[in-house]
Amino acid sequence: MLKNYFNDFNKKSAGKGAAAKTGSKKTSGKSTGVLDVKSFIEKLDLIIPAHLKISPLKPIDSKGFSPDGADYIIYKEYCRDIDKLLSGYIPFELIHGAFFLVPELKKNAVADVLNRVATVKKINSFSEEESTFLIPSFIISSESKDYSLLDIKNDVINYYISKGVESEAEFEIMMVYNQGIIIKDWHSGKRSFVGLKTGEDTLMWFFILITEYLSIEREDEFDIRKYVRSDKVYDEF
């Protein structure tokens, strides 16, 4: 049953090339390996844990630090108007994950997205409240015919080593549509990533793996008073 669902999911998430749009007999109706991000996110939003929501909002911590880089965040809907209460920002304590998109998978694009992930991972680092929670970060890319999973994995490791990036600032999962998944191995005790060639089953395994992170119960308590930006003193009696 799950396999059938994701077979349909895969078809609805596939972008079409220019030839397919014009009705070319050679390529008409065939996926180019390009992910239709809008359709993918809309579909994924329906099957993540029910108390969570996916949206292109900005993360922020209680000190006002709001890093750029994430294309979508996954957060707990504290109230239905939480985004309006905080002018389009979502408090760190409510965030359960972040998505980072790579429109075209090339070496320079990999370096860029790894840098964006590391920046977002810094959120709450300057806060007085202690928290061991690091925002799970998931990279999403279209398929690349000229860039193998092995080469991508090696370039990821080389980037992290050459830039001296801390292990805590690395991504958790990278999905290359219709190609495979690269997973951070937290249990190895050293910098390590595992690549899986999952082919047409990539979306299914990506969903299963990210759900393990999204199901983690956060211990941080959200206190909306910490997000009030005012020095006003009121009369007390």
- Per-10-residue mean pLDDT for the chain, 237 residues long? 92 67 40 85 96 96 94 95 93 97 93 97 82 92 93 96 94 97 85 94 97 92 88 90
Confidence at residue 18, expressed as pLDDT on a 0 to 100 scale: 35
Confidence at residue 32, expressed as pLDDT on a 0 to 100 scale: 60
- H or E segment and range at residue 54: strand 52-55
Among residues 146, 145, 69, the alpha carbon closest in space to that of 114 is found at 69
d(CA 180, CA 192): 17
d(CA 172, CA 155): 16
Confidence at residue 235, expressed as pLDDT on a 0 to 100 scale: 94
pTM score, two decimals?
A: 0.90
